[in-house]
């Protein structure tokens, strides 16, 4: 196996998926999509650490952004490889629930499951509104009735150590 500095992203993902598949043979042979949380490397690392600690078990996306980028809406049973802020694969998650609701109808339970800040709905709303106003990929940016895809997931497998 090559050292991380010598590997392309595709090779890193292939090696990671081989390790994950060895640990969990029931995983499909073909690796799933790889992505990171947040819009910055630091945010990606922060949110990944919450997942690895078992605190973050949910996420949310603007349906407008998914439409704008052509990304599919998550489906129950989807697998994903989570990347850290340096695009290194670190964990495998499985989507266990997906609902789309207006921003103003996101539940306190969902906000808590996202695991960020003080885990309250008020903080979730202010943080996500600010996030979408700054990083929206749709020209519609933000509205109180915007459709939000609320996704619950479970951690299936993680690297024991972060790659070098």
Is pTM, for the whole model, over 0.85? yes
CATH number at residue 129: 3.10.400.10
Residue 70 lies inside a defined structural domain of this protein: yes
| Strand pairing report for 147-158 and 89-102 | antiparallel
pLDDT bin (cut points 50, 70, 90) of residue 163 is low
- The domain in which residue 116 lies consists of 33-158
Task: Map residue 95 onto helix, strand or coil.
Answer: strand
Q: What is the pLDDT of residues 134-157, one digit of tens each?
A: 999 999 999 999 999 999 999 999
Residue 164 has pLDDT above 60, yes or no: no
Q: What is the DSSP letter of 126?
A: H
Residue 9 lies inside a defined structural domain of this protein: no
Residue 134 lies inside a defined structural domain of this protein: yes
| Strand pairing report for 89-102 and 33-35 | unpaired
Residue 13 lies inside a defined structural domain of this protein: no
Which residues are CB-neighbours of 3 under 8 A, at least 6 positions away?
164
Tell me how many domains the chain contains: 1
Q: What is the pLDDT of residues 76-109, one digit of tens each?
A: 999 999 999 999 999 999 999 999 999 999 999 9
Residues 90, 83: Cα–Cα separation, whole Å: 6
Which residues are CB-neighbours of 104 under 8 A, at least 6 positions away?
144, 145
pLDDT bin (cut points 50, 70, 90) of residue 160 is confident
Residue 161 has pLDDT above 80, yes or no: no
- What stretches of the chain show up as alpha helix (H) in DSSP? 9-23, 41-52, 63-69, 108-114, 121-135
Indicate if the alpha-carbon torsion angle 26, 74, 18, 90 is positive or negative. Answer: negative
Rounded to a whole number, what is the distance in angstroms from the first to the last CA of the chain? Answer: 13
Query: Quick one: average pLDDT of 62-80?
Result: 97
């Amino acid at each position: 196996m090559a050292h991380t500095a010598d590997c392309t992203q595709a090779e890193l993902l292939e090696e990671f998926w081989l390790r994950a598949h060895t640990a969990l043979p029931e995983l499909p042979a073909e690796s799933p999509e790889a992505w990171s949380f947040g819009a910055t490397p630091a945010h990606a690392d922060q949110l990944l650490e919450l997942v690895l600690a078992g605190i973050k078990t949910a996420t949310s996306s603007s349906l407008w952004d998914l439409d704008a980028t052509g990304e599919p809406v998550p489906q129950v049973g989807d697998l994903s490889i989570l990347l850290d802020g340096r695009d290194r694969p670190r964990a495998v998650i499985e989507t266990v629930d997906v609902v789309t609701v207006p921003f103003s109808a996101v539940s306190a339970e969902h906000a808590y499951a996202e695991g960020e800040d003080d885990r309250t709905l008020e903080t979730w709303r202010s943080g996500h509104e600010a996030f979408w106003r700054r990083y929206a990929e749709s020209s519609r940016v933000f509205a109180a009735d915007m459709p939000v895809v609320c996704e619950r997931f479970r951690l299936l497998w993680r690297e024991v150590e972060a790659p070098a």
